[in-house]
Chains A and B, each alone.
Chain A
Amino acid sequence: MSELLTPSQTVGPYFSMRLPWAGGPYVVPEGTEGAITIVGRLTDGAGDPIPDGLIETWQANPAGRFAHPDDPRGPVPWGDKAFRGFGRSETAHDGTFKIVTLKPGPVPDGAGGNQAPHIDVSVFSRGMLDRSVTRIYFSDEETANAADPVLAQVPAGRRATLLATPYDDGTATPGLYRFDIRMQGDQETVFFDM
């Protein structure tokens, strides 16, 4: 017999009182060797920035392992407490967010194959009664992406909305990627049902 769940409700306009913290966007400290920075903009159906959004990320380490007891491959070999795998960034007035992390490795799909490197993302904001879930893949992982079982289920014409692409913002930041999240519109981001 399973109980009803406590229903989801919106984070509302004032979550930034509690949820963001200075280290939130830094899954690893800035300047960590091999770190990548993912920047993007969260926009609504009118194409306007969502200035009161919250982006959360969860991912494997570069060896494809999770620091979590339910990873049945056992203890994380590579690391450790140092890589928490979790990032949290509120959006700015212009809808932008930033996550500094390490690129995840391929992760087994549980059936003998691999999933391409990816990051799970939750999107929250005022006006969202429940989170929306998406995934970040990387445009420079073409071979792995072509074999990814989740991307294979996404209509081909929409897959590009899931790709973080190398980005030059003029600051020569190494490992900079861009990943915009569009709630609606022609280029609406693919969202998932878990």
Chain B
Amino acid sequence: MTVSDQGLVLSGKLALPEYAKPQPGNHPPLDFEGYKSTRLRHPKQPLVLLPQRLTEVTGPLLGDDVITMTDADLTTQKPGEPQGQRIIVFGQVRDSGGRPVPDTLIEIWQANAAGRYLHAREHHPAPIDPNFDGVGRCITDQGGRYRFITIQPGAYPWGNHYNAWRPAHIHLSLFGRAFTQRLVTQMYFPGDPLLKYDPIYNSVTDEKAKVRMISEFSLEDTQPEWALAYKFDIVLRGRNATVFEEPHA
């Protein structure tokens, strides 16, 4: 018999953690009329239930051995300083049970201060900033905390409908510690007048869940004479309490 901190092996039976399902409306629907590109890219057949087994409750733990270079400061990757408002984006990654998620990779990408992405398919006629790539990554500390230094991104137009503009946002990709916890999301800024017109932001129907995507301005965490600060906590799926069988003597 093998015993670990997460479960037991007893005559072929495995006690595995189970990750709670999101409440209805917490995540956006895959088919959302306001966002035109969903139309041909969402499954039409009913999804098949996949019970969480070993493959789903484990997941890639990508540390420094796989991705060697962390670059949490997006303002010092080039010889010169990027244009725009310097900001600190920080927060905690935790699960829905309130447990911090340590040692997890966060990858971010964003537009520059003028609303321009450094990407070959990007055609918005706003200036490229030779001193800003708009990409970063870091790994959370033991308390699940992370911190990036970057530039306030600009809004940019997109072709979804007439005069469509995306509100300023930063894309984030997270792994958590299990395949079930994988999350790709976007962080928005408080008070952005474009939020109410944006179908991607508004695809989330639960109002309380939706505002989880808006960061919070934190005067306390600004660096005087240097940078503004926005706090963005990220909540991943948490574990249900697991009932363990009593091992037989």
Binding site for B on A (CB under 8 A): 2-19, 21, 44-46, 48, 50, 52, 56, 58-60, 66-74, 81, 84-86, 107-113, 115, 118, 120, 122, 124-133, 135, 149-150, 153-154, 158, 183-184, 188-194
For chain B, residues 105 to 124, give those with C-beta under 8 angstroms from any C-beta of chain A.
Answer: 107-109, 117-119, 121-122
| A17/B9 in contact, CB under 8 A | no
Look across to chain A and name the residue whose beta carbon is closest to the beta carbon of B98: A3
Task: Please name all residues of chain A whose beta carbon is closer than 8 Å to the beta carbon of B185 when the two chains form the complex.
Answer: 6-9
Q: Least Cβ distance of B111 to chain A in Å? A: 8
Look across to chain A and name the residue whose beta carbon is closest to the beta carbon of B60: A86
Q: Least Cβ distance of A17 to chain B in Å? A: 5
Q: In the bound complex, what is the Cα–Cα distance between A127 and B42 (angstroms)?
A: 8
Chain A interface mostly: loop
Chain B: interface residue total (CB-CB under 8 A): 99
| A5/B27 in contact, CB under 8 A | yes
Q: In the bound complex, what is the Cα–Cα distance between A150 and B47 (angstroms)?
A: 13
| A4/B206 in contact, CB under 8 A | yes
Within 8 Å by CB of B235, from A6, A17, A150, lies A6
For chain B, residues 1 to 50, give those with C-beta under 8 angstroms from any C-beta of chain A.
Answer: 2, 4-9, 11-17, 19-23, 26-30, 32, 35-45, 47-50
Q: In the bound complex, what is the Cα–Cα distance between A124 and B43 (angstroms)?
A: 12
| B30/A128 in contact, CB under 8 A | yes
> Interface centre among B2, B8, B17, by most A CB within 10 Å?
B2
Q: Least Cβ distance of B98 to chain A in Å? A: 7
Q: Least Cβ distance of A37 to chain B in Å? A: 20
| A74/B2 in contact, CB under 8 A | yes
Chain B interface mostly: loop
Task: Please name all residues of chain A whose beta carbon is closer than 8 Å to the beta carbon of B49 when the two chains form the complex.
Answer: 153, 192-193
Q: In the bound complex, what is the Cα–Cα distance between A72 and B213 (angstroms)?
A: 35
| A72/B186 in contact, CB under 8 A | no
Look across to chain A and name the residue whose beta carbon is closest to the beta carbon of B177: A70
Q: Least Cβ distance of B31 to chain A in Å? A: 9
Within 8 Å by CB of A3, from B67, B96, B134, lies B96
| A58/B55 in contact, CB under 8 A | yes
Q: Which 6 A-B pairs have the closest CB atoms?
A: A127-B37, A72-B7, A86-B60, A192-B50, A45-B40, A68-B58
Given the known interface contacts A5-B27, A110-B53, the answer about A184 and B117 at a Cβ–Cβ threshold of 8 Å is no
> Interface centre among A12, A73, A149, by most B CB within 10 Å?
A12
Task: Please name all residues of chain A whose beta carbon is closer than 8 Å to the beta carbon of B131 when the two chains form the complex.
Answer: none
> Interface centre among B36, B44, B118, B238, by most A CB within 10 Å?
B44
Task: Please name all residues of chain B whose beta carbon is closer than 8 Å to the beta carbon of A86 when the two chains form the complex.
Answer: 59-60, 62, 66
Look across to chain A and name the residue whose beta carbon is closest to the beta carbon of B174: A6
| B234/A6 in contact, CB under 8 A | yes
Within 8 Å by CB of A72, from B6, B36, B50, B97, lies B6
A-B contact pairs, 15 of them (CB 8 A): A9-B200, A9-B213, A10-B200, A17-B119, A18-B137, A70-B7, A70-B57, A84-B60, A108-B54, A110-B54, A113-B12, A127-B38, A129-B38, A150-B48, A192-B49
Task: Please name all residues of chain A whose beta carbon is closer than 8 Å to the beta carbon of B51 when the two chains form the complex.
Answer: 149-150
Q: Least Cβ distance of B60 to chain A in Å? A: 4
Given the known interface contacts A5-B26, A18-B137, A44-B40, the answer about A153 and B15 at a Cβ–Cβ threshold of 8 Å is no
| B55/A107 in contact, CB under 8 A | yes
Within 8 Å by CB of B14, from A52, A67, A108, lies A108
Within 8 Å by CB of A126, from B26, B37, B59, lies B37
Task: Please name all residues of chain B whose beta carbon is closer than 8 Å to the beta carbon of A81 when the two chains form the complex.
Answer: 65
Look across to chain A and name the residue whose beta carbon is closest to the beta carbon of B181: A5
> Interface centre among A8, A58, A191, by most B CB within 10 Å?
A8
Within 8 Å by CB of A4, from B32, B39, B52, B96, lies B96
**Interface flag for B231 (CB, 8 Å):** no
